[in-house]
Amino acid sequence: MIVNKKYTIAILLAYLFIGVEANAQQTPAPKQSVAISIEGATAHLGNGEVIENSLIMFEDGKLSFVGSAMSRIARRGEKIIGKGKHIYPGFIAPNTSLGLIEIDAVRASKDQDEIGEMIPHIRSLVAYNAESKVVESMRPNGVLLGQITPQGGRISGTSSIVQFDAWNWEDAAIKIDDAIHLHWPTTFRKGKWWKGEDRGYQANKKYGEEVKETLVFLRNAAVYDSLAVTKNPVLSAMSGLFTGKQKLFVYADGEKEIIDAVTQIKATGVKEIVLVGGHHAHKVIPFLKENDISVLVRATHNLPVFDEDDYDLPYKLPNLLVDGGLLVGLQNGTASNFQIRNLPFYAGQTVSQGMEVEKALELITGNTAKILGIDDNYGTLALGKSATLFVSEGDALDMKGNRLMNAFIDGREISLETHQTELWKRYEGKYEVK
């Protein structure tokens, strides 16, 4: 049979376009062109304050009024009736590999690490996939910003902070190369069962050696001359740590590791340290306060790290640290990327441990923005800051109440549709009870 070549190409192109349309991401929203006024909602500002009957206005991507709806100020532009609803700053997900991993089980879709132990020059931002379907699925729960962080090695690389509605990483970036990530050696390690070792924890006999290697690397970076004839991109990438331009995120859980890491790293000249994990941070609160160390604790929906820990320590740890006067934020830890959309519910879990609701909200808004160094523009609802916020039907820290009506990033109203909502709409009639 003779087949018309042009006809065949046309059919193939048609199938191609159908496939692209079926799997395409939501088109990023255009720049805000009309002022927006949201009136009557309960506004949770992200700094502990609440305005019951609020008026929130923004234009050109910036908040132009944050106050009471009783104010006589003229309403501008498009009006959104918020009576009975709630307004929140966009939630921020620190220490995440969103956009670097699409499917955990598919190696070709994983780009979160590189070969090597000391690789601070590896930049996560250039590998970030702004069109990731996993990233898109964060937005319906109010997670609108994230710190994209590399994994693997002792010094994993350099992170950057992005917003979750963009064509590419250049458009997404809001703070480039904000921090370097160091996994401090552990005094205990799990046995390598494949080598015949016991599966339980055992002493790490190389702890001292590994600490020494880490400190030698940091000292070399501290004295590296960027004007040297022979360039060293690895050491050069660390320079921001010693000028205060970048922060060092140190991953440590045990009491000894936390004290060793903070004490010895500060001695090398690193200006700002953030503790990540900190499972036993509650045991050294005075030490952390004295050294001005903020903490990003693991998500509350986790098991204890050590056998001797209270069974509910992950639930109550954020509260213990906040009560101790530390600056605390929540991060997803080692859980899969798709679980980051549960970030508001991790914060909500702390309320059951006695934390005030607005303080729990700060764990994923104002506090995290301060820890990441973006609080001048994000994390709270305040005059002149970015209009990155959303309107929810109820309490956004509760699964029943977290139902978004509208969401905005830099004043742009973004789509809340994802491949998950499309599938839900497609199949909801198939399984509904008749």
Once rounded to an integer, what is the mean pLDDT over residues 209-228? Answer: 89
pLDDT at 183 over 50: yes
> Looking at the chain, how many residues does it have?
434
Percent of the chain at pLDDT exceeding 90: 71
Q: So what's the pLDDT on residue 334?
A: 67
Residue 359 pLDDT greater than 90, yes or no:
yes
Instruction: Give the alpha-carbon dihedral of 74, 76, 81, 82, to 10 degrees.
Output: -80
CA torsion, ordered 393, 398, 400, 403, to nearest 10 deg: 40
β-pair partners for 409 = 412
Residue 228, both tokens: 């040297």
Those residues with Cβ within 8 angstroms of residue 128's Cβ, 6 or more apart along the chain or in another chain: 99, 100, 148, 160, 162, 169, 172
Compute the C-alpha angle 35/38/42, nearest 5°. 150
Buried-state track 18-49, b at ≥16 Cβ within 10 A, e below 16:
eeeeeeebeebbeebeebbbbbbbbbbbbbee
pLDDT at 303: 86
Asked if pLDDT for residue 6 goes beyond 60, the answer is no
Helix residue spans in 352-418 (DSSP H): 357-362, 366-372
Which helix (H) or strand (E) is 19 found in, with range? Answer: helix 5-23
73-77, 362-366, 409-413, range with the lowest pLDDT: 73-77
* Stretch 393-422: mean pLDDT: 93
- pLDDT higher for 2 or 59? 59
Query: How much is the pLDDT for 4?
Result: 52
126-146 pLDDT per residue, tens: 999 999 999 999 999 999 999
The answer, yes or no, to whether residue 371 has pLDDT greater than 70, is yes
The pLDDT assigned to 17 comes to 42
Given strand 42-44, what is the order of strands in its sheet?
Answer: 50-51, 42-44, 86-89, 389-392, 404-409, 412-413
Question: What pairing do the DSSP bridges indicate for beta strands 54-59 and 143-148?
Answer: unpaired
pLDDT at 13: 46
CA angle 162, 360, 330 (to 5 degrees): 45
Tokens of 382: 């305040």
Return the pLDDT at 18.
42
Residue 11 pLDDT exceeds 70: no
> Would you give the DSSP letter of residue 245?
S
Per the structure block, which two tokens stand in for 329? Answer: 């934020």
Six-digit token string for 29: 């929203």
Residues 6+ apart with CB under 8 A from 294: 274, 275, 326, 327, 328, 329, 367, 370, 371
CA distance to 178, 275, 350, 353, 407, per residue, from 342 (Å): 24, 22, 13, 18, 17
| Entry pTM | 0.90
pLDDT value at residue 139: 95
Instruction: List domains and CATH numbers for the chain.
Output: 25-90+379-434 (2.30.40.10), 91-377 (3.20.20.140)
- Kindly state the tokens that stand for 33: 């062109």
Strand order in the sheet with 91-96: 91-96, 143-148, 155-163, 173-183, 247-252, 273-277, 294-298, 328-331
d(CA 120, CA 41): 45
293 is written with which tokens?
């160390």
pLDDT value at 54 more than 90: yes
Q: Are 329 and 307 in contact (CB under 8 A)?
A: no
pLDDT at 201 over 50: yes
pLDDT digits (tens, 9 = 90+) for 268-307: 999 999 999 999 999 999 999 999 999 999 989 888 888 8
| Residue keyed to tokens 């998950």 | 420
Residue 398: pLDDT band with limits 50, 70, 90 = very high
How far is CA 425 from its chain centroid?
28
Strand partners, 296: 276, 329
Report CA torsion sign: 383, 385, 391, 397: negative
